[in-house]
């Protein structure tokens, strides 16, 4: 227990323990920095942090899973050198920018959301500290802004120019509900998600993605380049969300073929999220599943954020008659998310394990998805 480890490490009890989850996303990938829709939900895995105010200006942080400790001042102009500590430091700084008087604290944290698997371990880490610091220092920052604190931490201290989906889901998650977020208006709606007769399951390729490795940021730049070209003719286009395929055709001669492919994927994906929401209201899981496969194809061929292992698992899902399957999250590794009929579940999992092992020498990890609550004090 994080609480007990805190006591052992610092010799006093923590003031409190906070938790914040990772997330899944049913559909709407690489749409959140394009002003479009996402459809995530928080999961039953995340980060847990025990914290005690220490009355100084120093943060002493212990990463339980890595058995590493660091110390920094919230006023240090330079972030600490440990990768994980940059997240905590970044959150402190971003809360400070929003007028919160962040003082020193001792903290120990641990997580059970796999790292680099596309389930947003980093958003869970940011959100747990944003949420706790807000409570401990009477920040009065609203929940949406807490999500933005996490996103700004990625932008300013980690170098990933991510959208808002992961931090939003981690803060706003609600048990049994997916959330459709419009990232242009920031309006959101909870959708109870309990697909009778189906299971939602993640298969982890165990290929670790490295979002920061610039490929993610390049995708974003491609989208922005296409928007800039479109806006010359259509000044109302601020995001790819505002565009359609006809506008894309108009600018094909002015943007690179690669950038055009990226935009084609995003424009298609916007429509797919809307299709899925409508289908869910009708209980039409067949359509939900078809759109998931289409997303996978788009992410693999047009957006080029899949990898051989993800494509392999997607093919197995098709062969097994799984209703829907696709790469989830940023891509370049991590998990597929699969919508599977109860009756096919066991066969699918054993086939996927067997075939993946025969090809790559190890079995994919299997995670049943349990849609859970967002950031909270325990």
The reply on whether position 22 binds ligand GLA by CB under 6 A is no
Instruction: Look at residues 117, 145, 163, 367 and name the one whose alpha carbon lies nearest to residue 269.
Output: 163
Tell me the per-residue interface mask from 148 to 167 with ligand GLA, x by CB under 6 A, - otherwise. --------------xx-xx-
Q: Residue from 19, 30, 171, 339 that binds ligand GLA (CB under 6 A)? A: 30
Q: Residue from 17, 29, 247, 333 that binds ligand GLA (CB under 6 A)? A: 29
The reply on whether position 204 binds ligand GLA by CB under 6 A is no
Q: Which is nearer to ligand GLA, 32 or 106 (CB)?
A: 32
Site residue total, ligand GLA (CB under 6 A):
11
Query: What is the sign of the dihedral through the CA atoms of 204, 206, 212 and 217?
Result: negative
CA distance 147 to 51: 20
Q: Which is nearer to ligand GLA, 17 or 263 (CB)?
A: 263
Q: State the minimum distance, in angstroms, from the CB of residue 257 to ligand GLA.
A: 22
Q: State the minimum distance, in angstroms, from the CB of residue 167 to ligand GLA.
A: 8
Tell me the per-residue interface mask from 293 to 332 with ligand GLA, x by CB under 6 A, - otherwise. ------------------------------------xx--
Is 75 marked active-site?
Answer: no
Q: State the minimum distance, in angstroms, from the CB of residue 264 to ligand GLA.
A: 16
- Cβ-contact 146, 94 below 8 angstroms: no
Helix (H), strand (E) counts: the chain: 11, 13
Q: Which is nearer to ligand GLA, 21 or 163 (CB)?
A: 163
The reply on whether position 35 binds ligand GLA by CB under 6 A is no
CA distance 64 to 323: 39
CA distance 169 to 161: 17
Q: 32, 106, 166, 204: which is the annotated catalytic residue?
A: 166
Q: Which whole-number Å values give the CA distances from 125 to 13, 90, 131, 208, 276, in the listed order?
A: 21, 11, 10, 18, 30
- β-pairing, 16-25 vs 198-204, is unpaired
Burial class (CB in 10 A: 0-12, 13-18, 19+), 233: exposed
- Where do contacts with ligand GLA occur on this chain (CB under 6 A)? 29-30, 32-33, 120, 162-163, 165-166, 329-330
């Amino acid at each position: 227990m994080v609480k007990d480890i805190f006591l052992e490490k610092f010799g006093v009890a923590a003031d409190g323990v906070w938790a914040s989850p990772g997330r899944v996303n049913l559909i709407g990938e690489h749409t959140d920095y394009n002003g479009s829709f996402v459809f995530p939900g928080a999961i039953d895995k995340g980060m847990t942090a025990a914290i005690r105010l220490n009355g100084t200006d120093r943060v002493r942080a212990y990463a339980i899973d890595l058995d590493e400790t660091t110390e920094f001042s919230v006023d240090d102009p330079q972030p600490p050198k440990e990768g994980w500590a940059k997240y905590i430091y970044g959150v402190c700084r971003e809360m400070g920018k929003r007028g919160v008087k962040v003082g020193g604290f001792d903290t120990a944290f641990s997580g059970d959301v796999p790292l680099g698997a596309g389930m947003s371990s980093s958003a869970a880490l940011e959100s747990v500290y944003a949420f706790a610091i807000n409570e401990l220092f009477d920040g009065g920052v609203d929940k949406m802004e807490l999500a933005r604190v996490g996103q700004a931490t990625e932008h300013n201290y980690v170098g990933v120019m991510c959208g808002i989906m992961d931090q939003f889901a981690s803060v706003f998650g609600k048990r049994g509900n997916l959330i459709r977020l419009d990232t242009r208006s920031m309006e959101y709606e909870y959708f109870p998600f309990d697909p009778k007769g189906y299971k939602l399951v993640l298969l982890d390729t165990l290929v670790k993605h490295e979002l920061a490795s610039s490929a993610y940021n390049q995708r974003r730049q491609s989208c922005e380049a296409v928007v800039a070209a479109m806006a010359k003719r259509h000044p109302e286009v601020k995001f790819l969300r505002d565009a359609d395929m006809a506008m894309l055709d108009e600018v094909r001669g002015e943007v690179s073929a690669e950038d055009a492919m990226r935009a084609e994927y995003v424009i298609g994906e916007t429509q797919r999220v809307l299709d899925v929401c409508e289908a869910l209201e009708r209980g039409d899981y067949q359509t939900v599943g078809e759109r998931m496969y289409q997303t996978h194809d788009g992410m693999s061929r047009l957006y080029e954020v899949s990898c051989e292992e993800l494509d392999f698992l997607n093919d197995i899902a098709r062969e097994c008659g799984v209703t829907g399957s696709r790469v989830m999250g940023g891509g370049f590794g991590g998990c597929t998310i699969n919508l599977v009929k109860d009756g096919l579940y066991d066969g699918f999992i054993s086939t996927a394990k067997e075939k993946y092992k025969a090809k790559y020498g190890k079995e994919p990890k299997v995670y049943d998805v349990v849609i859970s609550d967002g950031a909270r004090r325990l």
